Amino acid sequence: MNFEMKELPRQQSERVRDQRIERVVELVSPAEILEDLSLGSKREDAVVDHRAEVKSVLDRKDDRLLVVVGPCSVHDPEAAMDYAQQLADRASELRDDLCVAMRVYFEKPRTTTGWKGLINDPHLDGSRDVNVGLHTARRLLLEVTDLGLAIGCEFLDPITPQYISDVVAWGAIGARTTESQIHRQLASGLSMPVGFKNGTAGSVKLAVDTVRAAAAPHAFAGVDVSGTPAILYTEGNPDCHVILRGGKGTPNYGPDTVSETLSQLRDAGLAERVVIDASHDNSGKDHERQPTVVSEIADQIADRDGAIVGVMMESFLVGGRQDLESDEPLVYGQSITDACMDWDNTVLTLDRLASAVRKRREAG
Distance between CA atoms of 225 and 218, rounded to whole angstroms?
A: 19
CA distance linking residue 347 with residue 354, whole number of Å:
11
**Number of other residues whose CB lies within 10 A of the CB of residue 326:** 10
In a 3-state reduction of DSSP, which class is residue 45?
helix
User: d(Cα 262, Cα 274) in Å, to the nearest integer?
Assistant: 8
Residue ranges per structural domain of the chain: 30-363
Please give the Cα distance from 59 to 53 (Å, whole number): 10
Q: Is 226 helix (H, G, I), strand (E, B) or coil?
A: coil
Q: Are strands 229-233 and 219-223 parallel, antiparallel or unpaired?
A: antiparallel
The candidate with the shortest Cα–Cα distance to 239, out of 39, 102, 53, is 53
Q: How far is CA 28 from the centre of its chain?
A: 23
- Write the burial class of residue 359 (CB in 10 Å: 0-12 exposed, 13-18 middle, 19+ buried): middle
Q: Is 248 exposed, middle or buried (0-12, 13-18, 19+ CB in 10 A)?
A: exposed
Cβ-based neighbours of 75, under 8 Å, separated by 6 or more: 115, 118, 124, 324, 335, 336, 337
pLDDT in tens, the chain (364 residues): 666 666 766 666 667 788 888 888 999 999 999 999 999 999 999 999 999 999 999 999 999 999 999 999 999 999 999 999 999 999 999 999 999 999 999 998 876 678 999 999 999 999 999 999 999 999 999 999 999 999 999 999 999 999 999 999 999 999 999 999 999 999 999 999 999 999 999 999 999 999 999 999 999 999 999 999 999 999 999 999 999 999 999 999 999 999 999 999 999 999 999 999 999 999 999 999 999 999 999 999 999 879 999 999 999 999 999 999 888 999 999 999 999 999 999 999 999 999 999 999 998 7
pLDDT, residue 16, reads 77
Contact indicator for 244, 274 with CB cutoff of 8 Å = yes
Report how far residue 90's alpha carbon sits from residue 14's, in angstroms, rounded to the nearest whole number.
57
Nearest to 299 by CA among 342, 356, 338, 349: 356
Other Cβ atoms closer than 10 A to 267:
9
pLDDT at 17: 81
End-to-end alpha-carbon separation of the chain, Å?
A: 55
Other Cβ atoms less than 10 A from the Cβ of 306: the count is 13
Helix (H, G, I), strand (E, B) or coil at 223: strand
Q: Alpha-carbon distance 6 to 100, whole Å?
A: 40
pLDDT of residue 2: 63
Of 291, 292, 296, 280, nearest to 248 (Cα)? 280
The 10 Å CB-count burial string (b at 16+, else e) for 331-347 is eebbbbbebbbbbebbb
* CA 164 to each of CA 74, 107, 150, 350: distance values in angstroms, whole numbers, following the listed order: 15, 12, 14, 27
Whole-Å CA distances, 284 to 71, 175, 198, 328:
17, 15, 15, 27
Calculate the alpha carbon distances from 204 to 159, 241, 264, 307, 355 in Å: 27, 11, 9, 16, 29
The pLDDT value recorded for residue 58 is 98
Query: Which pLDDT score, from 0 to 100, does residue 142 have?
Result: 98
What is the rounded CA–CA span in Å between residue 267 and residue 209? Answer: 11
- Around 141, how many Cα atoms within 13 Å sit in the side-chain half-sphere? 33
Check if the beta carbon of residue 37 is closer than 8 Å to that of residue 167: no
List the CATH code of the domain at 30-363: 3.20.20.70
